A = this chain, B = another copy of it.
Amino acid sequence: MSKHQITFLPYNISTIAPAGSTLIQAALDAGVHINASCGGEGVCGKCRVRVEAGSVADGVSEQLDQEDIQKGYRLACRSIVTGDLTVRIPVESTIDAAVLNRPASPRRSARIQEFNLEELKERGLFLAPVEKKFLTIPPPSPSDNLPDLTRLIGFLKLQHDEHKLEADLSVIRKIPQVIRQDDFRVTATLVRPVRADGKTRIINIQAGDTSSRSLAIAMDIGTTTIYGQLIDLISGEVRAEHAEFNAQISYGEDVISRLVYAEKPGGMDRLQEVVIGTINKILGKIIRRSGADPQDIATITLAGNTTMTQLLLKVNPRFIRRAPYVPASSIYPPIKARELGMNLEDHVAALVYPCVSSYVGGDIVAGVMGSGIYRTEELTLFLDVGTNAEIVIGNRDWLACAACSAGPAFEGGGLQFGMRAAKGAIEDFSFDPATLEPMIMTIGRVRPKGICGSGLINMVAVMFEMGVIDNLGKFNPALNTPRIRRREGFYEYVVAWKDETQIDRDITLSEIDIENLIRTKGAIYSGCMTLLAEVGLSLDDIQRVVLAGGFGSFVDLEKAMTIGLLPEMDPDRVTYLGNGSLLGAKMSSLTNRIRRDVAEVVRKMTNFELSETISYMDNYIAALFLPHTDLRQFPRLQARLEARRINPVA
């Protein structure tokens, strides 16, 4: 993707933006304020800017008259960057330049960890899990009438130097027909053993030469969403991918309510049936969409949290939610996908990621495998934030893990106008410190419906840093703006007025909402600090942070540090993994090296129950401030706040 330089006048601030982004996005990233209250839909007309050099695509609207357009005015939220630009922010949006030249928190998002098959090969991490061998076998005769399978194995040895082979019953069932179908020209699918001393299994036989087609499926079984990928085992590429909401949602939004439902008569079977239904829907789509022959699919690798895993495999999860929180097993043997009800061929094995404990599941183990933290020397903090937050600390020598209940604040729960990261959710926010007028951006660039996790973090961080709220999350009542108003016993800030929204109500952020966020971020931060202390380390020892989960992809790192959700550290040391669970499942599909390592990793991961750790509650209480009771843990923020105190803008 090409990138372009954009210079904002009158401040003369330049930023680099990828082609295709909007001008308002570029301004947000540069810390340049433009009034904008319709979320990017182009209806409020407030974000007028004048393009003085270069040109943009789109950007015109009925909010602009012909003369404006002639002069180069465009709506920033509808203007698409296609080349280098110089853009002037008109007077109605300008604010005190002193503030602008001291951007509180330029957007910093983490590097995304990329991964491909070539890299695995280069790093010596590639051990083919599946190989197809084509061979032409002389037909049997009266004097040479060995069994079909014996003949196949004999010629695999002769023509391909294959030894220690064994075959599945499904192959034996097919071989008489298939071997004769194309006159004894066949392709055998070989699955390599994970341990070097194991046997190679023949899992499939196909007529003719299909050796150029070899596929696998990776899936992340999330409590909310299930993601599936169809992976080409020869190129390493994802041929198709698709996500669906986990249909178990009808039986409870979160893990605990699923566990409760599973204890009802027939409940566990029903939940299994339902999740298989979603899996089959995804399988159908990715297979159809990629035009794949289901015969070419060798394996399906699945990763999910412990509850999702036990429900998928019909293993009673009763004791997961009862102290002392014991799961049935950490490791699961390969199972026939069809036996679980999946619409895949008879020969396909389902490989399920192992779990560590009731609340550090296969999704986290997969993330650890996908991120490679178990292979590096660097001491890493791995963090997967969703409703629960799972924390892993360690490196190639040791690994410690813990889980804490973060609460649903990042997924829109416990927030008056909270919502999931879906169309209409305010995901980006900034405001004019002088006027307190907001600049909001919604997912889908439509009028706002609510606030999602990253929007919430951004709002609270900006408000805190600008002194609009204090370190307890309380609004400064002295501020004179209609956007801050008192309700029964608390204050709230109007993010979007009723007529700018899709919901015909003012969208607000209240002190109660902020309190919820503080509890959530406090749980996560104190979880990290407690686990660090348990293993005898401090933050200074951490060399790298890996963020996994949907949350990590959108969060503005500096802002997350500003509110004390993440420990303060150089953003360059933070990597964003994306869906670590899916990545780990994909990597296990692509190389046996991961499957070999994972058993060792699970053995190595020491689980800490934070509820059993005395210091956890102390740490938690200390973290119920913005950013923390002890501001010295956030020295960069401390410096910025200090500067603001000396030179206040409002």
User: Which residues from chain A sit less than 8 Å from chain B, CB to CB?
Assistant: 140-151, 166-169, 172-173, 175-177, 180, 197, 313-316, 318-319, 323-333, 335, 355, 357-358, 607, 609, 611-612
Contact = CB atoms under 8 A, between A and B. Distances in A.
A180 to B, nearest CB: 8
A148 B319 CA distance: 10
A329 B148 contact: yes
A147 B316 contact: no
A95 B149 CA distance: 64
A172 B313 CA distance: 9
B328 A148 contact: yes
Closest 4 CB pairs of A and B: A149-B329, A145-B324, A172-B329, A142-B324
26 contacts: A140-B324, A141-B324, A142-B612, A143-B612, A144-B324, A145-B324, A145-B357, A147-B326, A147-B328, A147-B330, A147-B355, A147-B357, A148-B319, A148-B327, A148-B329, A149-B328, A149-B329, A149-B330, A150-B330, A151-B326, A166-B331, A172-B328, A172-B329, A173-B313, A176-B328, A180-B319
A327 B357 contact: no
Contacts of A332: 169, 172
Q: Is the interface of A mostly helix, strand, loop or mixed?
A: loop
Q: How many monomers of this protein are in the complex? A: 2
Contacts of A148: 319, 326-329
Contacts of A142: 323-324, 609, 611-612
A175 B143 contact: no
A168 B333 contact: yes
A333 B169 contact: yes
Contacts of A328: 147-149, 172-173, 175-176
Nearest to A143: B612
A140 B612 CA distance: 14
B145 A329 contact: no
Contact of A173 (B140, B197, B316, B326): B316
Nearest to A171: B329
Nearest to A197: B197
A150 B612 contact: no
Nearest to A175: B328
Contacts of A177: 316, 318
Contacts of A326: 140, 145-148, 151, 176
Contacts of A149: 328-331
A514 to B, nearest CB: 33
Contacts of A168: 333
A335 B168 CA distance: 9
A47 to B, nearest CB: 54
Contact of A172 (B175, B315, B325, B607): B315
Contact of A175 (B180, B314, B329): B329
Q: Which of A145, A175, A327 neighbours the largest number of chain B CB atoms within 10 Å of its CB? A: A145
